[in-house]
Amino acid sequence: MVVARFPFRRIGREYLGTIQRPYATVLLQGKSRQWVSVEMVVDSGADYTLLPATYAELLGIDLAARVPTTTFGVGGSETVHLYKSLSIRLGD
């Protein structure tokens, strides 16, 4: 079994103190077939990953063609557009 290690970054000051989160550089490939490098928070407990809408254009994803849905979490709720066919590369 290979254990991956990711560098942590301090993210501002929060109510509970300074928060440190692990980050990884990930390559994403959407409909455009072009690889896009993105730095993302590593969250092994996530049900799915959210990306800012600005990446949709880079990946050739038409958000207008996606059915919006609502997601809920610790911070409240948000409208998102689901996209299931995204290829990723992490490491070699």
- Lookup result for tokens 């254990």: 3
Residue 92 lies in a domain: no
How many domains does the structure of the chain reveal?
1
For 77, the domain range is 8-84
Residue 51 lies in a domain: yes
Q: Cα separation of 70 and 14, whole Å?
A: 26
Residue 1 lies in a domain: no
pLDDT one-digit tens code per residue, 24-46? 889 999 887 889 898 888 887 77
3-class DSSP assignment, residue 56: helix
Radius of gyration of the chain (CA): 15
pLDDT one-digit tens code per residue, 48-71? 888 888 888 888 888 888 889 998
Residue 65 lies in a domain: yes
Q: What pTM was computed for the model? A: 0.68
Beta-bridge partners for 25: 39
